[in-house]
Amino acid sequence: MKISILGAGTWGIALAKMLCISGHEVTVWSALAPEIEHLTATHTHPIFPDIQLPEELCYTADTETACKGRDVLLIAVPSPYIRSTARSAAPFLEKGQILVSVAKGIEEATLFSMTEVIEDELGPLVSEKDLKIAALSGPTHAEEVIRSIPTTIISACSDIDTAQFIQEIFMNTCMRVYTNTDIKGVELCGALKNIIALASGVLSGLNYGDNIKAALITRGLAEIKRLGVELGCCEQTFYGLAGMGDLIVTCLSVHSRNYKAGILIGKGYSPQESAKEVGMVVEGINAIKPAMRLSEKTGVELPIISAVNSVVYEGASPAEMVDRLMQRSMRSEI
């Protein structure tokens, strides 16, 4: 397959390396010319200086070059840039291409998932050019994928044939791929688990131990599931790799930027200081306001996410928010 990765961050580069090793013809695009110059000259990524990327990988800052003649376009930019990236690619899209989002987020203005943002931005082009739009999500930190450490992921698309096509492309000895037609549920899991991971980090920063983190993950999943079911998603999605699987790894892994940012917040850093210290986009912070709007829109209570919102955007004390959660009135839920 001829595949382009739109986005040269850690996740895009990890997937580019994996796909290239699997025998695909892979081009990496970035809007930042210095980023492309560095990759071309060194065949290394600044975050992974010890990893030599395959010589066969190609790099470009030209959108037309990245899009034309490609079977699959992987959109691997941070969630705030999904719409602008789709807009820049639109004039060069060709009939029958598959666009796959690997970003995790919710657009604040529209409350759209990332694939919904792409579809909305492309408009009539989707049907005119018979474009397919899918998502990849699951417990897959770039730091491990780029080192060919085994993991699993979900190929999600409302069209099962497209989901299975993507499954075949990505399946190899270090990545086992499952399929799911509940693309909204898969993407909702990917966005909201980052907020729960912020909370998990806060608990670590407060030195609150493991018991409460186990409870947080369990109740966090219940919270995400309640909202998802209200939005028409399949309940089973939340118990699978996109839900529980991704939630566990993001809430506990040393590679999780959301968990790291939460630790710093728990230790007294401001959210802005923590994001700067992490040095990469902290998607959990971006997802909080859309999640709160979804809660208001649906009437579904999100107590953990509401507590994180209070800490990040209202200046509340992390310890006080934990106390408040512990003393909430009881419900009959398991």
Query: Are the CB atoms for 237 and 182 separated by under 8 Å?
Result: yes
Distance of CA 18 to the CA centre of its chain: 18
> Under 8 Å CB-to-CB from 103, ≥6 apart: which residues?
75, 76, 77, 78, 79, 82, 114, 283
For residue 55, the Cα-to-chain-centroid distance in whole angstroms is 27
CA distance 239 to 17: 30
Residue 134: half-sphere exposure toward Cβ, Cα within 13 Å: 26
Phi, psi torsion values for 6, nearest 5 degrees: -90, 95
Cβ-proximal residues to 317 (8 Å cutoff; 6+ apart), any chain: 311
From the list 193, 213, 225, 260, the catalytic residue is 193
For residues 102, 104, 108, 113, the Cα torsion angle rounded to the nearest 10 degrees is 60
Decide if 129 is catalytic: no
Q: Which residues are catalytic?
A: 193
